[in-house]
Structure 1
Amino acid sequence: MAVPTIELGSGATRVSGANRGVAVLDFILRLVAIVATLASAIAMGTTNESLPFFTQFIRFRAKYSDLPTFTFFVAANSIVCGYLILSLALSVSHIMCGAAEKSRVVLIFFDAAMLALLTSAASAAAAIVYLAHKGNTRANWFAICQQFNSFCERISGSLIGSFGGIIVFILLILMSAFTLSRRS
Structure 2
Amino acid sequence: MKGGSIELGEVSKNTSRSKGVKRGLSIMDFILRIVAGVATLASAVAMATTDERLPFATAFIQFRAEYDDLPSFVFFVTGNSIVCGYLVLSLVLSIFHIVRSTAVKTRILLIVLDTVMMGVLTAAASAAASIVYIAHYGNTKANWFPICQQYNSFCERISGVFL
TM-score w.r.t. the length of structure 2 is 0.88
Shift, 1:33, TM fit: 0.5
For residues 58-103 of structure 1, what are the alpha-carbon distances to aligned partners after superposition, in whole Å with 9 as ceiling and x for unaligned? Answer: 2110000000111111111000000000000011111111011101
- Is residue 2:129 matched to residue 1:118? no
Q: Percent identity?
A: 62
Structure-2 separation of matches of 1:16 and 1:103: 17
Q: Which has the larger radius of gyration?
A: 2
Structure 1 counterpart of 2:153: 150
CA RMSD across the alignment? 1.8
For 2:15, the aligned partner's letter is: P
Shift, 1:159, TM fit: 2.4
- Is residue 2:81 matched to residue 1:81? no
User: Greater relative contact order (Cα 8 A, min sep 6): structure 1 or 2?
Assistant: 1
For 1:89, the aligned partner's letter is: V
5+ residue gaps, structure 2:
1-10
Structure 1 counterpart of 2:7: none
- Is residue 2:15 matched to residue 1:4? yes
Structure-2 separation of matches of 1:84 and 1:152: 29
Structure-2 separation of matches of 1:95 and 1:84: 16
| Greater than 6 Å deviation, 4+ residue runs | none
Structure 1 counterpart of 2:142: 139
User: Counterpart of 2:119 in 1: which secondary structure?
Assistant: helix
TM-score w.r.t. the length of structure 1 is 0.78
Count residues with an aligned counterpart.
Answer: 152
Shift, 1:113, TM fit: 0.3
Contact between 1:40 and 1:77, CA under 8 Å: does it hold in 2? yes
